[in-house]
Amino acid sequence: MTNTDKESLPTVDISPFLTETGSPKDRAQTVNSLHQACKDVGFFYLVGHGVSEEEMNRSLDLGKQFFHLPEEAKQVLSIGKNDHARGYQRLGENVTMYKRDWHEGLDFYKPIDDSHYLRQHQLPMRGENRWPESIPEFRPTFEAYIEKMKQVGEAVMKAMAIALGMEETFFDGLVNDSFWVARVIGYPKLVSQNGDVGVSCGEHTDYGCLTLLLQDSTMGALQVQTRDGSWINADPIPGAYVVNIGDMVDVWTNGLYTSTLHRVIHKGDNYRISIPFFFEPNFDAVIEPLDTCISQSGGKKKYESVVYGQHLLRKVANNFDVVEK
C-alpha cells in the first residue's frame, strides 16, 4: 500500500524485482508505488529487500564498535592519511554548506585499479579502502553487506526504468559498474556550541541514484523536507530501509523525481548509528534528461548532461574541513 499522507513516508515492496517469481500484478504494484513515492516525496520505506533484521543489526553493531574505539585507533584510518575521502573522519571534520557536521564517519568506496581516472589524475577517492583491523569481522561482514546492497539497488533501478516508461534494462549499462559508497556514521548527542557547528548533518541532497539507509532505532533524528517546505521525520521502521533518490535521478527525470533535501538533528542522549549505502551510477556514466521525462514535465529540458564522476568530485571537494594532520 502506498501511503501518501503528509506525516509519513510511503512504502515500496521491491521483492517482485529481486526474485524470478514476481507475478506481473505484483511487479506492476511495485512500479506504481515507486513512481508515486518518487514523484511525491523522493523518500520511501523499502521492504522485501531480502536483508534480514539480524544482518542489519550486525552491521549497525559493528559500526558502533568502531566508533567506540579510542580516537588514536580511529585516526589510523584517517582520510587525511589516505586519499582525502576513503577512511575515517573525526567529529566536525565533515562540512555541509560551510558548517561543521556533528558526526564522525567511515567511508568505503568501490575499489578501483591503476587505470582509473582518479588514479591517473591523482584525485581524492583514488586510494584503497581502510578497514578497522582490530575488529576482524568488520571487513567480511561489510563486504557481504555491500554485495547485497548492490543487488537491491539494481532491482530498484529496474523498477524505476519501467515506472518511467523505459525498458526494464534501460539503466543497466549506466549502473552495472556502480561507483557506490558505503558510509558508517556515528552521531553523538548534538550539543549547542559557540562557533560554526551546525547540526548533526546539514541539509543536503544525495549525489547519485539511490541512498539505501540503514539506521538504528533512534527516533526523530533524520528529517525530510516535503514539497510545501515543512520538515517531517523519517523515523526507523524495523526491517525497512529508508530510501531516497539522488541528484542523478533528478537529472534523468528532468525533475519529475526530486532529490529531496534532508538533514539530521540528533538531540537524544544515545549515540546514534546510521549506515547509508549510496548506490550510484558508473563513474563515467553520462547522465541526461530522458525524452519521455522532458515531455512529461512541461517539454523544457531543465538540466545539461553531466558525467557522474565529475559531479561527485565537485561535491566531495566541499565535504571536508581542512584540518592539520
Ligand X SMILES: O=C(O)CCC(=O)C(=O)O
206 binds ligand HRG (CB under 6 A): yes
The answer to whether 178 contacts ligand HRG (rule: CB under 6 A) is no
Dihedral sign for Cα 295, 279, 222, 92, please.
Answer: negative
Rounded CA separation 221/231 (Å)? 11
Please tell me whether residue 181 binds ligand HRG under the rule CB under 6 A. yes
Look up residue 15 and give its three cell numbers.
521483492
The contact set with Fe ion (CB under 5 A) reads 206
Of 44 and 180, nearer to ligand HRG (C-beta) is 180
**Min dist. Cβ of residue 115 to ligand X (A):** 29
In whole angstroms, what is the distance from residue 214 CA to residue 277 CA? Answer: 8
Residues in contact with ligand X by CB under 6 A are 183, 185, 201, 206, 213, 215, 222, 262, 264, 274, 276
Residue 262 CB, nearest distance to ligand X (Å)?
A: 5
Binders of ligand HRG among residues 267 to 286 (CB under 6 A) are: 278
Residue 185 binds which one of ligand X, ligand HRG, Fe ion, none, with CB within 5 to 8 A depending on kind? ligand X
Q: Which does 57 bind (CB under 5 to 8 A by kind): Fe ion, ligand X, ligand HRG, none?
A: none
Give which of ligand X, Fe ion, ligand HRG, none residue 222 binds (C-beta under 5 to 8 Å, depending on kind): ligand X
Q: How far is the CB of 205 from ligand X (least distance, A)?
A: 9
Q: Taking the complex as a whole, how short is the minimal distance between the CB of residue 204 and Fe ion, in angstroms?
A: 6
Beta-strand runs (E) in 85-155: 87-89, 95-96, 99-100, 104-109
Is 88 within 8 Å of 104 (Cβ atoms)? yes
Place of cell 556514521: 185
The 10 Å Cβ neighbour count of residue 101 is 28
Strands (DSSP E) along 62-153, which ranges? 87-89, 95-96, 99-100, 104-109
Residue 180 CA to residue 211 CA, distance in Å, equals 10
Binds 153: which of ligand HRG, Fe ion, ligand X, none (CB < 5-8 Å by kind): none
CA atoms within a 13 Å half-sphere pointing along the CA-CB vector of 162: 16
Rounded Cα–Cα distance for residues 142 and 278 (Å):
14
Decide whether 81 or 315 has the Cβ nearer to ligand HRG: 315
Q: Contacts with ligand HRG in 306-325 (CB under 6 A)? A: 315, 318-319
- Residue 178 binding: pick among ligand HRG, ligand X, Fe ion, none (C-beta 5-8 Å cut-off by kind): none
Question: Residue 33 or 215: which CB sits closer to ligand X?
Answer: 215
* Residues 78-117 interacting with ligand HRG (rule: CB under 6 A): 94, 96
Using CA atoms, how far apart are residues 257 and 189, in angstroms rounded to an integer? 33
State in angstroms the smallest separation of the CB of 273 from ligand X. 9
Q: Are 316 and 125 in contact (CB under 8 A)?
A: yes
Chain residues that interact with ligand HRG, rule: CB under 6 A: 94, 96, 181, 201, 204, 206-207, 278, 315, 318-319
